[in-house]
Structure 1
Amino acid sequence: MAAAVAVERGDIGQYRGVRLELVTVDATGAQVDLSCACMFTHEVDHQPMTGGLANLDAALGGQLAQARRDGAFRAQPLETLLITPPAGAAQAPSLLVIGMGHPEDWSPATSAAAVACALRVGHLRGARSIAIAPSILDTGIHSDEDVNGPMLHGFKTQLDALQQLHSLGLAPAPAIEHWVFDTGAAHFPHKLQQYQQAFAAMMR
């Protein structure tokens, strides 16, 4: 029996009372109120899904991929699928799958929009903790573009909007206290440093 792999985690920063963290988990392993994964209409070159997205599909008995094949969930841009996972399938009581459209059309702005979507849905559900797995590498996308900065900006802009809506008396105050970006274990210290630098730049 293989030994359990230790989870690495590191603080990115705090904004409006929300602690942002980078953690080496996927959508099934995140211990939060709402765990979010991103899914494209297909994988690059129509290869099989891998990594955390494949783990999520396996935990759901292959039904996520089946739903996409059947057209019940097509993973079009910002299409959402809210799932109550079966017992033992995930650490979180609720899973949200966010559509990302065609992987050939992906840009960092696509992932930023997904982050904002995750925060909006979490707000509607009164979630205190939310995690998101960008699923970029799982889909086969390899890019040198900065995605950490845009995702952080998507979070900040959406949280600012939710707070403004609350101040106008149009919505309850956001309950969110803890936000997690899921990541793979490879090069974790470097990824954490990139997030921290992007956060510091955003706050200047």
Structure 2
Amino acid sequence: MELAIENISYEEEDRANIYLEQQAVFEKIFQLLDSSKIAFVGGVADYINLRSYYEMPVHDLDIIYQDEKDLTPVIEKYNLRRHGINFYNINESREVLVSEIFINKKRVHIDFFKRNFSKMRLQESYLLGTKVLHTSFDEMMKFHNDHIPLLTSDTMGANYEWRRLYKHSKKASLYNNVRYLKEKGLLKQLTK
């Protein structure tokens, strides 16, 4: 596992930009699980990696783990269900553990995927004032760019979902734009 460390807090920005319901679920996850045993991927990693440049929402929480026993407190408290994985072939297991937590009558969806941390680049950053592991900028940029050709209607056939293709295309564009502007020395971070 390659680990980079970011020491900027962003707590004030996180509290302003992450929905209250998602903040409450993050707090529950931080209380129940050892943050060194899980890492955030998907939209949460995108948010952390790109929050200096774009304002973007966090909807669902995607979390990876190496050993299911590390999830025991969440499994016991939130009745995680097992589902097959239809779209992504990057997990050690062909299943995902799913939970839905309701806060203020709104559903927050959480997916837990088994992954081998040593095969990926992780970064340590702050999220809502808590140090967390997440997939790195380069890892997420590669993921989104690599998935565009895998999610076309020709490739997916009957399983094609235009929203999924659009999501990866949009996020790949955001990462590619930041990388391009950094390389050209033209990048300015958002100031709040």
TM-score by length of 1: 0.30
Instruction: Flag the structure with higher strand content.
Output: 2
Greater fraction of residues in helix: 2
TM-score for the superposition, normalised by structure 2: 0.31
